[in-house]
Structure 1
Amino acid sequence: MKIGLYFGTFNPIHVGHLTIANHLVENSDLDQIWFVVTPQSPFKKKSSLLDDHQRLEMVYLATKDYDKLRPCDIEFSLKQPNYTIDTLTYLFEKYPEHKFCLIMGEDNLKSFHKWKNYQQILENHSIYVYPRLTEGKLETQFENHPKIFNISAPIMELSSTFIRKEIKAGRSIKPMLPDKVWKYIDEMNFYK
């Protein structure tokens, strides 16, 4: 089985994440997409994050009605801060029957060469890149790389940061979230 790994803090997961993931799994050779909830990114401060299990619960609520989309807590048990190469190594050992690919926005591809062991990642895994709204064409050293596939997906300019700010300001963000996620956030009084 070919699994696309969509890494993120998902703080919170929103309709943009789901739209991109669903488009990718329906319009590529991927069999499933796993939303890998990251406990702490080496590039982000942990203070703004909800508890790991609360974010995992939101991903579970958002994906439970989609057969090909799954939550994944694999990084919760790995040493922190964690790097993608460590997660991929662990997943390969745990699920040798699966082929794992990365999913990332084209803005992340620009800094991919700064990732730990990025050459090893590219040797062993394909990368599916979805478009982001950018000024002009995004040039990278990975243009025309045989393991990197640009996917024509809807451009979603919706961010978790924006959603958190809107909630804090007391404005309605209900259309931006899956209904079950909105209800969970509302009931738990998150981000206020």
Structure 2
Amino acid sequence: MNKKVGLFFGTFNPIHVGHLIIANHMAEFSDLDEIWLVVTPHNPHKKKNTLLENHHRLELVYQACEGYKNLKPSNIEFGLEQPNYTVKTLAHLQEKYPDNDFSLIMGEDNLKTFHKWKNFEVILENHSLYVYPRKSGGTVENQFKEHPKINRVAAPIVEISATFIRDSIKNQKNIRPMLPEKVWDYIDRMNFYR
């Protein structure tokens, strides 16, 4: 039987306890066997701002996943041509790991704009979506409301943003409880976001 892998994409700039809560909830309370936290590389066509280098964000994800046997960091997109589309990543993964069934993990806010994704029909044809609740405006398209490949998972609603964390660090606020301990230690040691 194929391994069911949920792909949780993000810049993880930085990864925080909110990401971990969602990823771990998916690993423990859905039928997914593993959750891969896929670090999205810096888009060379976009202004960099406060985005840490790819290898630093990947290292933070490694630090955060330590001790969680079903959570795996992934740099699979680092080697793909930029700008990249999810549909291409999925095709690449399916080719590289034919014994895995890959699904997408997304917040409900992303489901509301999913109809705008490149080749979203192809994604839904070949992959399931696992959707966690988010507080956001807008509505979900009718075509996605009762779709057999869209699974709604009653994960906790976590309102922590990486932007808030970066701004707080810059303003010398103590936000340590929002970060896994090793992630905080690495950010502090490297003097990031200050």
Q: 2:187 aligns with which of 161, 185, 188?
A: 185
CA distance in 2, matches of 1:60, 1:183: 13
**What are the residue-to-residue correspondences of 1:22-41 with 2, within 5 Å?**
22-40=24-42
Against the structure 1 CA distance between its residues 71 and 61, is the aligned structure 2 distance closer, same or farther, given a 3 Å change threshold?
A: same
Deviations 1:114-155 (A, max 9, x none): 1111100000000000001236x8432311111101110000
Q: 2:108, 2:132 within 8 Å by CA — same for their partners in 1?
A: yes
Q: Match for residue 140 of structure 1?
A: 141
Preserved CA contact (<8 Å) 1:106 1:138: no
Q: Say yes or no: does 1:79 pair with 2:87.
A: no
Q: TM-score, normalised by structure 1?
A: 0.95
AA in 1 matched with 2:77: E
Paired residue for 1:116? 118
Q: Does 1:61 align with 2:58?
A: no
> What is the alpha-carbon distance in structure 1 between the residues aligned to residue 104 and residue 181 of structure 2?
27
Calculate percent identity across the aligned residue pairs. Answer: 63
Offset of 1:64 from its aligned partner?
A: 1.4
2:131 is paired with a residue whose SS is strand
Which residue does the alignment assign to 2:91? 89
Which amino acid is 1:67 matched to?
K
Deviations 1:32-76 (A, max 9, x none): 000000003699743331000000000000001100001000000
**How many residue pairs are counted as aligned between the two chains?**
191
* Runs of 5+ unmatched residues, structure 2: none
Cα distance in 1, alignment partners of residues 113 and 43 from structure 2: 14
* TM-score in terms of structure 2 length: 0.94
Gaps of 5+ in 1: none
